[in-house]
Amino acid sequence: MKKGLFSLFICICVFLCGCYYSQKRSATFFAMDTVMEISIYGEEKLLGGCKDVIYDLEKKLSVTDDKSDVYILNSNGRHTFDEDTLGLILRSIELCDLTGGAVDVTVYPLVKAWGFTTGEHRVPENGEISSLLSSVGYKKVIVSGSEVSLQSGMAIDLGAIAKGYASDKIVEYLKDNGVQSAIINLGGNVCALGKKPDGSPWRVAVENPFGGGYIGILSVEDKCVITSGSYERFFTEGGKTYCHIIDPSTGYPADNGLVSVSVICSDGTFSDALSTALFVMGKERAIEFYKTHVGFDVILVEADGSITISEGIENTFERSADIPESSFEVIS
Ligand code: AMP
Ligand code: MG
């Protein structure tokens, strides 16, 4: 083949490959008790790989599947974990510590007592709550080598952290396979890999906890936007609403005036742990935590509709037209 023709051939091949990979491919599926949607600019088979990452984690971390590692730990009081899962448990314990126990992976006996695992909701008696509280405390989890052991009555649940961790694993898998652009939505917890192929940032809508659309749109690149909200799972009894996020210091569902907390950060595991923890802390403590720690931004929504955002996202958060400026504040 002549040199000119050969160059033309190579150019066409490169162009066709570019078109092939710049095509958006999406998969929607149900896992970890939620609807997940992953869109990538990359080969179709990688979507299957992403699903495998999720299913594999679900098999290990589920609190209800009697074959999962976490289930076995909770039933036997001790279990030997593979390196990755052990790493997640150790990281989770660190995050429990960092948040002063506002997120606590050992709160599971209470989550179960309130019926959030089965959907058979109930308000436990005060006595039952105080008795279960004696089984709560991440500091009592013993890790020796790759074996984790729990005291009698204790049980762990990584539900407050698992989806963020799952998105980190997917991002890692996609990057390892050459993908530069993807958006991973695990039940409203969104992680953006890179930018959109046209070079613009990904636009992530932040849900309005009072229903009816969203409170605003964030422009992000290589960041997760992870939300904990009382509107996600709750029940009402005797005119009172109880949400699925338990304050480990009281044993009761968090009820401090916040209705949703979003954490924006490049580390999904951190964002997920923090969204739950800040929700438990309430507005004042959450702001104090934000001011004394680095590497993330927040959006706090209160029951009266007030919205507080951190200054790091002031220029990348577009407030929805129906959110009045008077109910909007920036933490400086
Ligand atoms: P998230 O939606 O990430 O805020 O996680 C909430 C889930 O984590 C709940 O459905 C419970 O399974 C579990 N959970 C509730 N409260 C806590 C807490 N304070 N610390 C750790 N896990 C919790
Ligand atoms: Mg969380």
Q: 145 lies in a domain?
A: yes
CB 242 less than 6 A from any atom of ligand 1 = no
Residue 100 structural domain: 65-156
The total number of structural domains that make up the chain: 1
Atom of ligand 1 nearest to the CA of 105: 21
Q: How close is the Cα of 276 to the center of ligand 1, in Å?
A: 6
CB 155 less than 6 A from any atom of ligand 1 = no
CATH number for 107 = 1.10.3980.10
pLDDT in tens, 53-98: 999 999 999 999 999 999 999 999 999 999 999 999 999 999 999 9
Q: What tokens does 84 get? A: 């990755």
**Which pLDDT value is given to residue 155?**
98
**Which pLDDT value is given to residue 16?**
45
Question: Rounded to an integer, what distance in angstroms lies between the CA atom of residue 37 and that of residue 148?
Answer: 33
3-state secondary structure of 5: helix
Spatial contact of 271 and 280, defined as CB atoms under 8 Å apart? no
Question: Rounded to an integer, what distance in angstroms lies between the CA atom of residue 165 and that of residue 144?
Answer: 23
Of 177, 101, 96, the closest CA to residue 133 belongs to 101
Question: Rounded to an integer, what distance in angstroms lies between the CA atom of residue 296 and that of residue 313?
Answer: 10
pLDDT in tens, 172-212: 999 999 999 999 999 989 999 999 999 999 999 999 999 87
Q: 123 lies in a domain?
A: yes
Q: How close is the Cα of 9 to the center of ligand 2, in Å?
A: 51
CB 248 less than 6 A from any atom of ligand 1 = yes
Question: Rounded to an integer, what distance in angstroms lies between the CA atom of residue 84 and that of residue 158?
Answer: 14
Q: Which bound ligand lies closest to the C-alpha atom of 224?
A: 2
Question: Rounded to an integer, what distance in angstroms lies between the CA atom of residue 10 and that of residue 209?
Answer: 52
Paired strand residues for 330: 309
**Which pLDDT value is given to residue 2?**
53
| Mean per-residue pLDDT pooled into runs of 10, the chain (332 residues) | 51 46 88 95 97 97 96 98 98 98 98 94 96 97 98 97 97 98 95 97 96 93 96 90 96 97 98 98 98 97 96 96 90 86
**Which pLDDT value is given to residue 211?**
87
CB 244 less than 6 A from any atom of ligand 1 = yes
Q: 90 lies in a domain?
A: yes
Give the closest residue (by CA) to ligand 1 atom 18.
103
Q: Which bound ligand lies closest to the C-alpha atom of 92?
A: 1
Atom of ligand 1 nearest to the CA of 102: 19
Q: 162 lies in a domain?
A: no
User: How far is C-alpha 180 from the chain's CA centre?
Assistant: 21
Q: Which bound ligand lies closest to the C-alpha atom of 251?
A: 1
Q: What tokens does 2 get? A: 């002549």
**Which pLDDT value is given to residue 295?**
96
Of 327, 324, 299, the closest CA to residue 311 belongs to 299
**Buried b vs exposed e over 58-72: b needs ≥16 C-beta within 10 Å?**
bebbbbeeeebbbbb
Q: How many CB atoms lie within 10 A of CB 182?
A: 25
**Which pLDDT value is given to residue 188?**
84
Q: 238 lies in a domain?
A: no
Pocket test for ligand 1, best of 226, 244, 270, 275 (most atoms within 8 A of CB): 244
Give the closest residue (by CA) to ligand 1 atom 15.
245
Question: Rounded to an integer, what distance in angstroms lies between the CA atom of residue 191 and that of residue 186?
Answer: 8
Q: 133 lies in a domain?
A: yes
CA distances from 293 to 129, 199, 289 (A): 32, 31, 6
CB 107 less than 6 A from any atom of ligand 1 = yes
Q: 135 lies in a domain?
A: yes
Instruction: Output the DSSP codes for 139-184.
Output: GG-EEETTEEE--TT-----TTTHHHHHHHHHHHHHHHTT---EEE
Question: Rounded to an integer, what distance in angstroms lies between the CA atom of residue 59 and that of residue 197?
Answer: 33
Q: Which bound ligand lies closest to the C-alpha atom of 156?
A: 1
**Which pLDDT value is given to residue 14?**
44
**What's this model's pTM, rounded to 2 decimal places?**
0.93
Q: 182 lies in a domain?
A: no
CB 95 less than 6 A from any atom of ligand 1 = no
